[in-house]
Amino acid sequence: MRIGQLAQLVGVETQTIRFYEQQGLLPPPDRQDNGYRVYTEKHGEGLAFIRRCRILGLSLAEIHELQSYQDDPHQPCTAVNALLDDHISHVRSQITALQALEKQLVSLRASCNDDRGVEACGVLAGISEGNMHQQ
């Protein structure tokens, strides 16, 4: 299986596959005589794993860490679960920050309707005056 087929199978671009290989997330495959990469099903599974992790918002570093646990299956899975717990709290704090931001933006937006000139725009005035309530 060549790189294009693998890419289509998993739904990634070929460059992305090369990039993961370069980053050490995907093992370097064998090469044909012409230098073309040849992939096996294992590579497909590995790549799909990476993609699912990315969809879950995990960073490449976190994925790398997960892979190191996979390579050592007799360890207790405490570290895996802890990694996920950490990531969940990342996500939660992002949500909290964005919600505070949304509130601020909505109140700023409420300070203007569309029937004004830029010089009287409540939004621009609100930003310029700097009476922003820090979270």
Query: What value, to the nearest 5°, has the Cα angle with vertex 6 and ends 23 and 60?
Result: 25
Site string for Zn ion, 63-102 (x = CB under 5 A): --------------x--xx-----x--x------------
CA distances from 19 to 24, 42, 47 (A): 9, 18, 12
Q: Which one of 1-9, 18-26, 29-37, 81-89 is the stretch in contact with its own copies (CB under 8 A)?
A: 81-89
Taking the alpha carbons of 93, 94, 96, 97 in that order, is the dihedral positive or negative? positive
CA distances from 105 to 27, 112, 117 (A): 46, 12, 20
Interaction between residue 54 and Zn ion (CB under 5 A): no
Q: Which of residues 27-86 bind DNA (CB under 7 A)?
A: 31-37, 54, 59-61
For residues 93 and 99, what is the distance between their CA atoms, to the nearest angstrom?
Answer: 10
Interaction between residue 42 and its own copies (CB under 8 A): no
Interaction between residue 128 and its own copies (CB under 8 A): yes
Site string for Zn ion, 4-23 (x = CB under 5 A): --------------------
Residue from 10, 16, 84, 112 binding DNA (CB under 7 A)? 16
Residue from 14, 16, 44, 49 binding its own copies (CB under 8 A)? 49
Burial 18-50 (b: 16+ CB within 10 A, else e): eebbeeebbeebeeeeeeebebeeebeebbebb
Binding residues vs Zn ion (CB under 5 A): 77, 80-81, 87, 90, 112, 121, 123
